[in-house]
Structure 1
Amino acid sequence: MSETPSHRRPVMPGARHFEDLVGPDDMGDPSERSEAADRCATLLVRGAHGTDDEEVVARVIRLAETEGLEALADLWAGSPADSLAGCLWRLYLLRTWVYADPAAAAREFDAGRRRSPVHEVVAGVVDPPGPDEVRHLADLVLRGVARGDFADTLWRAAAFARVVSAGRAGAEGFEDPSGRAAYHSDLSAAKLLRMAEQLEHAARLEDDGKLA
């Protein structure tokens, strides 16, 4: 039996294809850009949901790498935190930060686990977690966009950000044995905590069927 249109797996959009998907005239006026961002986010999250196609899953995970974080920022960075587009921006920003310095992310995640109870959604990592483990965890979170329950994806990302924020807050002024200052980025402890709170709020909306 042939697949019905409602169950046909969509082609995953990349940033290079966003303009074709939404139309070239949709990317000028701010209100039209916002509408275009929402439309693309809906295609990515709702269209890919439940897929078992590993190629599609891999493309979701590496979208920021293949298309550029700047391209995603142009599309989603200004979207509200309680929207699909805003959630996607925070998920990709979090993974990009982890990949920028996985050793520091692992150190701060481990420190955060000792300061703050670890929610079950980030349990299961080795003790202590290393760079490979935190990269894998970041990939698992984004994998949920295509394969799992989106609310669970948001809860996992929020828990990870909350734990790392606790570790980062305790590392202020730290220097490693080589004398180098601790890794710092635009995602400060306060910003990570705020991101965690925003993702938790979005997860509640998704649980209630109100996230769009």
Structure 2
Amino acid sequence: MASDDSFHRPTRFAPHKFDAIVGGADPAQLSRMAHDTASALLARVREDPDPAVVARLVSYTDEHGIDAIAELWSHAAAKSLPGALWRVYLLRTLIRQDPQGVSLGYQRGAEVSHTIDQVVAGAPAPAGPDEVRELADRILQGVFTGDFAVALDRAAAFCRVVAAGFASIADDADASDSVHPDRPGELTRRALRLTQLADELHACARLWRRDALD
């Protein structure tokens, strides 16, 4: 799985890259563009959810990279429509970058978590690398074709289960291990980031249900 820094901010952009998007627009214009593109994309696809179009959107970052999505939406507020879309794409990318590590975290989390999160997430048991990759695709597909709030809640639940798993594995790890002395700290930081991501996605789901997610 990517390092903590790459999880928090997968791509750093030089100022000229943003200038090139809209001719050096100010932050307010960039924010408006993020909201407009997110709203237009979601409305268009949900109005006519052509399976081929949805499939291309789900796999978009496989061909074009996460940078293309980041340029549009990564700087949007967490509790916003572009912010929600960015976080779902980010979660899918993180899963595909390290399906083995994420699946181990999910399996441990399902064992130690005493909530219904694993039920909400909808992953099979056991959830191996192939299963978590497939789940990530199903969640993103649900953003465009199903109940948007449910898709966000599924993503949030998945994050919470994996976070619980990483925290548990970190507790078991030997901090004095000379081979991987930083592993417990890395896992703890990943757990915290996933918990934050879950909170943001869940907040977006609540706002969407109130028709207040702009």
Q: TM-score range by the shorter chain?
A: 0.7 to 0.9
Alignment-derived partner of residue 192 in structure 1: 194
Deviation at 1:187, TM superposition (A): 7.0
Closer, same or farther: CA 36–104 of 1 in aligned 2, 3 Å: same
Deviations 1:163-183 (A, max 9, x none): 1111111122748xxx97569
Alignment-derived partner of residue 62 in structure 2: 65
Distance 1:186 1:33 in 2: 34
1:79 counterpart = 2:76: yes
Deviation at 1:52, TM superposition (A): 3.9
Distance 2:131 2:52 in 1: 22
The two structures, once aligned, show a CA RMSD in angstroms of 2.5
Alignment-derived partner of residue 138 in structure 1: 136
Q: Which runs of at least 4 in structure 1 moved beyond 6 Å after TM superposition?
A: none
Mind listing any 5+ residue stretches in structure 2 that lack a counterpart? 1-19
Distance 2:126 2:52 in 1: 31
Mind listing any 5+ residue stretches in structure 1 that lack a counterpart? 1-22
Closer, same or farther: CA 187–54 of 1 in aligned 2, 3 Å: farther
Distance 2:21 2:70 in 1: 18
Give the 5 Å matches for 1:169-208.
169-172=167-170, 174=173, 181=180, 188-208=190-210
Deviation at 1:66, TM superposition (A): 2.3
Closer, same or farther: CA 31–130 of 1 in aligned 2, 3 Å: same
Alignment-derived partner of residue 43 in structure 1: 40
Give the 5 Å matches for 1:1-212.
25=22, 28-49=25-46, 51-116=48-113, 117-119=115-117, 120-123=119-122, 125-172=123-170, 174=173, 181=180, 188-212=190-214
Closer, same or farther: CA 147–78 of 1 in aligned 2, 3 Å: same
Deviation at 1:71, TM superposition (A): 2.1
Deviations 1:87-127 (A, max 9, x none): 0111011000000010111100011111212333223x332
Closer, same or farther: CA 180–161 of 1 in aligned 2, 3 Å: farther
Percent identity (aligned): 38
Higher helix share: 2
Deviation at 1:51, TM superposition (A): 3.8
Closer, same or farther: CA 149–94 of 1 in aligned 2, 3 Å: same
Distance 1:50 1:107 in 2: 37
